[in-house]
Amino acid sequence: MSDHSRRPWLGLAVLLFPTLLMTVDLGVLWLATPALAADLGPSSTQLLWINDVYGFAVASLLVLSGNLGDRYGHRRLLLFGIAVFTLASIMAAYAPGPGVLIAARAILGAAGAAIVPATLSLISHMFTDPVRRARAIALWVTALSSGIAIGPVVSGVMLERFWWGSVFLVAVPIMLVVLAVVPLLVPRHANPQAGRLDRAGASLLLLALMPLVYAIKSLGENGFAPVTFAALAVGLAFGTLFLRRQRRAATPLLDVRLFAHRTFAAALALMFIGLAAMNGVEYLMPQYLQLVSGLPPVQAGLLMVLPALGLAAGSQLTPVLTRRVRPAYVIAAGAALAGAAFAMMAALPSDASGAVLAIGAATAMMLGLAPVTVLGTAIAAEAAPPGKAGQASSVGQTAYELGLAFGIAATGSVMAAVYRNHVQAASPAGAPADVVREAAGNLGGGLAIAERLPGELGEAMAATVRNAFASGLHAAAIISGSLAAALLALALLLLRRVAPTGARETPAAQAPVPTTAGSSGRGRSSRLLGRTGPAA
């Protein structure tokens, strides 16, 4: 398919919808958290699982899904993922309790793991021209990331009229339309030389990733408890066995030679850190606007459009800047801006006066962290030799999703601990012990619990809950700010030799690159980001 025709762009428009809806589904949940917490009554631990089990499921299954796409067809994998995502959305909407909602979120994550590598691999196949491909990938990244911020807008409108479960139903009719249109506009794409699926390798990979992501989750909840170390040890052991098998397998599930490219590996690490910093506080902002600033869901959702616009602007500006400025400097400058935004968040007040400052900080954060998401994704997509696009995009998105999930697990657990301790220590005299205990254990439903108390006692308890939430947000912002500082330093250290794209637009850089098993991955990645040039 020639990417000079209109057909690839029409196909891209179709592929952006499931990509966007995946993260919209995450964003709508954040604004719906107070309502579902009041209705279902989950514990703080269950509430964290409801928020981050999606990302953990995606991260655990991305590499396997990418391989399935390479072998059996990315369009087929995409259609399967869309169908499962639609059914799981209905399941989540009518969940009768926290357990069912957590299970539905896990299934949504599994479906998302099929959608992400399929859409990115299909885009890489549809756009063969490097310039048009870079533009298409930037649009894909914008859709993937913007949905998180757009979700609260949709959620706010739905929550004004319907129950909290309705926010999950928004994706259903759109996904059904996409399911019908994809076969008409998106070409088939698979690797006929991929060989048979390494089932033993797939089993080892799951046995490695599932304990590792659980260890991340347990670290956030339990600290350095024995269960955390046990899960980490099991994951590392199976991970070692997996890597050994991949080096010997005739058709490996994951070509470990991809990691031999230093720029590729560095970009994955930077993307993990950047997404962890972003997601560590982003999911708290809609709750802050509602619980602390007292805004109704619709107003809170509309305000969250501004961070989405900041992310979209940063995603589109990044390819322009990197034509003349080294990627390291672009990422570092963005990290500095994000660090300033986190400092603003760490000073947010515990009353209605903080809404404007909160949105300004969130917008600056999204603008500043956009470059690392765009550049990291582009490297992962371009580094792969022919037939390995699914693997490379899956590895890149695994880092992306693990960063998102780690951000929630790390800051969310600290947030919950600070909130709980503050409520228990600062509750007004006369508040029943069972009410204090229930409010301290319910991060999203504390205000609803405080409203049960009469008169001034209820108002004092509500003020305690607001102060506790603000204090927890301050702690989360400090953690994310530390990650932004690490991102700045590591970008300058690890990507300092990567030249601007303009310096690489030479005949040598555009010449055909060998695609043998031993060199193809490095060759294409060097063409994109691996050559050095004069400093910007």
Structural contact between residues 361 and 341, judged by C-beta atoms closer than 8 angstroms: yes
The verdict on 218 and 165 lying in the same domain is: no
The verdict on 394 and 291 lying in the same domain is: yes
Q: CA-CA distance, 179 to 491, in Å (whole number)?
A: 40
The residue-averaged pLDDT of 455-469 equals 85
Q: How confident is the model at residue 520 (pLDDT cuts 50, 70, 90)?
A: very low
Predicted TM-score (pTM) of the model is: 0.72
Write down the pLDDT at residue 120. 81
Write down the pLDDT at residue 388. 60
Write down the pLDDT at residue 518. 33
The verdict on 43 and 183 lying in the same domain is: yes
Which amino acid belongs to residue 3?
A: D
Among candidate residues 252, 278, 298, the one where a domain is terminated: 252
Write down the pLDDT at residue 440. 76
Phi, psi of 405, deg, nearest 5: -70, -40
Q: How confident is the model at residue 214 (pLDDT cuts 50, 70, 90)?
A: confident
CA-based max dimension of the chain: 78
The verdict on 146 and 232 lying in the same domain is: no
How many structural domains compose the chain? 2
pLDDT above 90 covers a percentage of the chain that reads: 18
The verdict on 122 and 211 lying in the same domain is: no
Report for 33-37, 381-385, 475-479: range of highest mean pLDDT: 475-479
Q: How confident is the model at residue 506 (pLDDT cuts 50, 70, 90)?
A: very low
Among 272, 315, 264, residue whose Cα is nearest residue 529: 264
The residue-averaged pLDDT of 57-79 equals 81
Of residues 134 and 421, more confidence is placed in 421
The tokens for 410 are: 């790390």
Report for 69-78, 177-186, 385-394: range of highest mean pLDDT: 177-186
The residue-averaged pLDDT of 342-366 equals 92
The verdict on 217 and 286 lying in the same domain is: no
CATH number at residue 34: 1.20.1250.20
Write down the pLDDT at residue 292. 86
Report for 49-63, 277-291, 507-521: range of highest mean pLDDT: 277-291
Answer yes or no: is 321 within a domain.
yes
Q: Average pLDDT of the chain?
A: 79
Spatial CB neighbours of 227, under 8 Å, sequence gap ≥ 6: 218
Write down the pLDDT at residue 217. 67
Structural contact between residues 10 and 126, judged by C-beta atoms closer than 8 angstroms: no
- pLDDT tens figures, 215-232: 776 665 666 678 888 888
Predicted confidence (pLDDT) at residue 356 exceeds the cutoff of 70: yes
Among 227, 260, 365, residue whose Cα is nearest residue 308: 365
The verdict on 476 and 342 lying in the same domain is: yes
The verdict on 399 and 463 lying in the same domain is: yes
Answer yes or no: is 384 within a domain.
yes
Among 47, 10, 20, 206, residue whose Cα is nearest residue 127: 10
Write down the pLDDT at residue 6. 78
Among 245, 293, 275, residue whose Cα is nearest residue 469: 293
Q: CA-CA distance, 147 to 19, in Å (whole number)?
A: 8
The tokens for 445 are: 């439903």
Answer yes or no: is 139 within a domain.
yes
The verdict on 244 and 330 lying in the same domain is: no
